Amino acid sequence: MIDRKPIESWLTDMDGVLIHEGVPVPGADAFIKRLRETGRPFLVLTNNSIYTPRDLHARLSRMGLDVPVESIWTSALATAKFLDNQHPGGTAYAIGEAGLTTALHDAGYVLTDADPDFVILGETRTYSFEALTKAIRLINDGARFIATNPDNTGPSPEGALPATGSVAALITKATGKDPYFIGKPNPLMMRTGLNVLGAHSESSAMIGDRMDTDILAGLEAGMETFLVLTGVTGTADIDQYPFRPTNVVDSIADLVDLV
């Protein structure tokens, strides 16, 4: 095994790691508290593009998790950062909620349905047939297709909900154009997050509950990875993948002493 540098910075997924079905995972509060006490740079990541960091800060605070707004990194923020680097001051037709539209506005983008540079698909609980039809026509007319994240489904108390990846597949079927997905497992989301922290991958760790997104993205970004067993992936699932996490632990509580 390769000798790694001591961990100086931490990136952690939110759902399945810090919270599960709207309830904090035992030890999550102690982990965040330790990070803040030690001054270690950290980011809480989510592929969900619905909420702004301020929304998520308030949501986590209600659960007793004190995560600063600037320590929250969403696929919407990563998408806006990508667009600002690639095509500053551009125009976009966006399907999504405040998390996406606010990030795009803050990056200097103009939202329009008149010959936009990009069509950007994010997460929303109310996908409109009219909006999807407009997106399809704009892509057919030459707009480039970006999606905030590739998740096919999202959780709800009633069961699975179609998410960005599923809706992107509908648009792809209608246009023949595949989107560029920004969120995990694209390591771009991790690398832009590390840049926000001013951190290096060799001395950073990624904590996640999914092999196919969190662990894969951390691995491809060159980070040490910790798989926690409080979310989607169980011990029996690990061998189904051709790659492995650096470490497997029961929960975030096992990592408090490593900070």
Active-site residue 178, yes or no? no
Tokens 């702004």: give the residue. 52
Tokens 């096919």: give the residue. 152
Q: Residue 230: which of 17, 24, 29 has the closest Cα?
A: 17
Catalytic residue among 3, 15, 29, 257: 15
What's the DSSP call for residue 235?
Answer: G
Q: Which two tokens stand for residue 83?
A: 């667009």
Q: Which residues contact 43 (CB under 8 A, 6 or more apart)?
A: 10, 11, 12, 71, 72, 73, 193, 196, 197
Q: Which two tokens stand for residue 174?
A: 């209608």
Catalytic residue among 3, 13, 151, 212: 13
Is the CB of residue 15 less than 8 Å from the CB of residue 212? Answer: no
Active-site residue 13, yes or no? yes
Cα 169 to Cα 19, 56, 136, 187, distances in angstroms: 29, 28, 11, 21
Q: Indicate which residues carry an active-site annotation.
A: 13, 15
